[in-house]
Amino acid sequence: MSYALDNIFPENLRQNARTGVVSAVRQAFCSTLLLVSVGILNGCAGIASTLDPAGPQAERIAVLHWIMFGVGGAVYAGVLGLLFFAVWRSQRRAAAEPDDARGTLLIVGGGIVLPLLVLFPLWGLTLTSMNEIAEPPQPPRLTIEITGHQWWYEVRYPDHGVTTAGEVHIPAGEPVLFELRSVDVIHSFWAPRLAGKTDMVPGVVNRMWLEASQPGTYLVECAEFCGLMHAKMQMPLYAESPEDFAAWLASQRK
Ligand SMILES: [Cu+2]
């Protein structure tokens, strides 16, 4: 009996390992296909697409995104390549005796040195990008106060005595300062094509700036789950030429 087990068991184990690797490769291949097709279907454009930047802040963020996407894609392709190589080799060679020195080299090189070489530059790039978009290129001339309510936005132009709700107008081609508040729960102010997200926290005034390079209609949406109607907490942001914006402001003042 023991004779039979000795012979059959190792072969079973090898078979199991091979089946496991083949199924992992199949899963990795399918998820890659899925990710690529979802990406293509979603497209890179649209009113809420961060991949279609329309202002200096969003452009910087998009560049960072594409660099991270490229590096992440290269790492993913590398891991897939190694996986395919392992399957290919396991079908040609019997399992070799474990080699401790090679194993240690692989763990130190692939598990410590390589991640540090990849992650440190990305970290530096992230800090540089954050620093670059922290301050506007010139001091904003216009301040807009936005207060988050469940589930709408109150919009005030304090220097002009104008208060509106549910839409925001800005002049295109110049930075605008936003003062963000909330009266109930935490919301987050996000215009995906223009800038990153900034939380609206009760009892706190958060400041951020954004700029629309061209006149157009953009979307603002709440990016922090804030209750049942969170998904509907959106408003249009109209970036207008300075003349159109001045005319709109004058009409509101009446
Ligand atoms: Cu909200």
Centroid of ligand 1 to alpha carbon of 163 (angstroms)? 19
Centroid of ligand 1 to alpha carbon of 34 (angstroms)? 31
Please give the average per-residue pLDDT across 127-143, as a whole number: 94
**C-alpha angle with apex 239: 230 to 62, nearest 5 degrees?**
70
Nearest to 148 by CA among 188, 178, 177: 188
What's residue 4's pLDDT? 46
The residue assigned the tokens 């301050």 is 135
What number does CATH give the domain 142-253? 2.60.40.420
Residue 34 has pLDDT above 70, yes or no: no
Centroid of ligand 1 to alpha carbon of 88 (angstroms)? 52
Six token digits for residue 76: 């993913």
What's residue 90's pLDDT? 83
What's residue 20's pLDDT? 65
Give, as residue ranges, everything with CB less than 5 Å from ion ligand 1: 187, 222, 226, 233
Q: Please give the residue that has the higher pLDDT: either 48 or 31.
A: 48
Q: Please give the residue that has the higher pLDDT: either 250 or 5.
A: 250
Centroid of ligand 1 to alpha carbon of 165 (angstroms)? 14
Average the pLDDT over each of 4-13, 123-132, 190-199 and give the range with the smallest value. 4-13
Centroid of ligand 1 to alpha carbon of 142 (angstroms)? 24
What's the chain's average pLDDT?
87
Burial class (CB in 10 A: 0-12, 13-18, 19+), 31: exposed
Q: Where in the chain is the domain with CATH 2.60.40.420?
A: 142-253
What's residue 45's pLDDT? 74
- Tens of pLDDT, residue by residue over 142-170, are 999 999 999 999 999 999 999 999 999 99
106-126 exposure pattern, b = at least 16 Cβ within 10 A, e = fewer: eeeeeeeeeeeeeeeeeeeee
- Tens of pLDDT, residue by residue over 72-115, are 999 999 999 999 998 998 888 766 677 788 888 888 998 899 99
Centroid of ligand 1 to alpha carbon of 185 (angstroms)? 8
Q: How far apart (Å, rounded) are the C-alpha atoms in residues 80 and 74?
A: 10
State the pLDDT confidence band at 213, using cuts at 50, 70 and 90.
very high
pTM of the complete model: 0.75
Centroid of ligand 1 to alpha carbon of 196 (angstroms)? 15
Centroid of ligand 1 to alpha carbon of 179 (angstroms)? 16
What's residue 215's pLDDT? 96
Q: How far apart (Å, rounded) are the C-alpha atoms in residues 218 and 169?
A: 10
What's residue 37's pLDDT? 59
